[in-house]
Homo-oligomer: A and B are copies of this chain.
Amino acid sequence: MSVTIRDVARVSGYSIKTVSNVINGHPQLRPETRQRVQDAIDQLGYRPNLSARNLRSGRSGVIGLIIPDLTTAYFAELADAVMRAAAARGLAVLIEPIGSGRENELAALRGQHRHMVDGVIYSSLTLGAPDAELLKSVDTPLVVLGDTSFNGQVDRITMANVAGARAGTEHLLASGRRRVLALAAHEGDIVASAELRLAGYRQAIEAAGARFDPELVYYADSWHRRGGAAAMRKLLEDGLSFDAIFAFNDTLALGAMHVLQGAGFRIPKDVAIVGFDDLDETRYSLPALSTINPHRDEIAKAAVDTLLRRIEGGIELETHEIETGFSLEIRDSSGPSAEGTGAANTAA
């Protein structure tokens, strides 16, 4: 059952060292040597014992990913992107779903898996600048994914919250909408991304020469579909007039869209909607939802590479803060308005 490097050495007629060189792709080896060793490996079905390799090298080849849960589409898609980015670097990912809330997030920093992983990608919602020291005291290489700054004291990848929100709002204004609602959310202590996206929304409004109207900012009580639906119902009751919505994330947008359609509004004719996150399901909603694509693959790649650099560079290495790009995905939910051509297809 357990073929070891020693067996390969014996069968191939070379020393353990040489076999090891072949396995690890050392360059200076005669092709013939390499071939014979490889033949023995194939013949025996040898696979290196990773525990032994890890013990020796001090590395496990596994990184941790700490997220609140796996069943929220946003985190599932993030995890998927991180796994792909890690696989491209030969790393496996150990996902640790920790639940939401500050306490869980803190507890995770002392998690049990800590010693199985070479480093951790940590998606934090509640930690902020005052916790920078705490994060620095963690003895595992760490990269934070989040919208709150730690004053450059921690490696961090963040998305283009302000620029993305601005682009989404500008797109709505550019398509002729005049009363663009901001559908925001507060949830627990999660304020960072909401604030940043609000700033982007406001920038777009003001850049268009309009006045920022706080009355047009609605707060859902959660970031989820249900929150978007509830906020929209309240909004319709309030009798506010509007012809577009920039929602601070996709699920809010989908919840709002559902209620609007139930109330007889046509989308995008009567109301255009743009979300944020580019969740996979936005392609399949009816109509398909326009949204800000935060370039999750880029975020994941930056996180993995930054973590790898930290693992190799140690604590002295200077910290990196990276803000990734974004793009506006124009789908059916933000096509021309009722005053437009009438054709409800994708705007160019």
What residues make up the interface of A, taking CB atoms closer than 8 Å to B?
A: 1-2, 47-52, 54-55, 58, 60-62, 69-71, 73, 76-77, 79-80, 83, 92-95, 97, 113-116, 139, 224-226, 229, 258-259, 261-262, 280-281, 284, 286
Contacts and interface: CB of A to CB of B under 8 A. Distances in A.
A79 B94 CA distance: 12
Given A55-B52, A139-B1, A62 B95 contact: no
Chain B CB count within 10 A is highest, among A47, A62, A70, A261, for: A70
Contact of A286 (B2, B69, B258): B258
> Can you tell how many copies of this chain the complex includes?
2
Contacts of A73: 71, 73, 76
Contacts of A1: 139
27 contacts: A1-B139, A2-B58, A48-B115, A50-B60, A50-B116, A51-B52, A51-B54, A51-B60, A52-B55, A54-B54, A55-B55, A69-B80, A71-B77, A71-B80, A73-B73, A73-B76, A76-B76, A79-B95, A80-B97, A83-B97, A92-B94, A92-B116, A94-B94, A95-B95, A225-B281, A226-B284, A262-B286
Which among A52, A54, A139, A259 has the greatest number of chain B C-beta atoms within 10 A? A54
A59 B178 CA distance: 63
Which among A48, A80, A95, A224 has the highest number of chain B CB atoms within 10 Å?
A95
A93 B92 CA distance: 11
A200 to B, nearest CB: 26
A113 B86 CA distance: 13
Contacts of A226: 284
Contact of A115 (B47, B83, B116): B47
B70 A284 contact: no
Contacts of A60: 50-51
Given A50-B116, A79-B95, A225-B284, 13 more contacts: A2-B58, A50-B115, A55-B55, A62-B116, A70-B70, A70-B79, A73-B73, A73-B76, A93-B95, A95-B95, A224-B284, A225-B281, A261-B261
Contacts of A49: 55, 115
Contacts of A51: 51-52, 54-55, 60
Nearest to A80: B70
B47 A114 contact: yes
A165 to B, nearest CB: 24
A55 B48 CA distance: 12
Nearest to A53: B51
Contacts of A280: 71
Nearest to A47: B115
A326 to B, nearest CB: 19
Contacts of A54: 51, 54
Contacts of A71: 73, 76-77, 80, 280
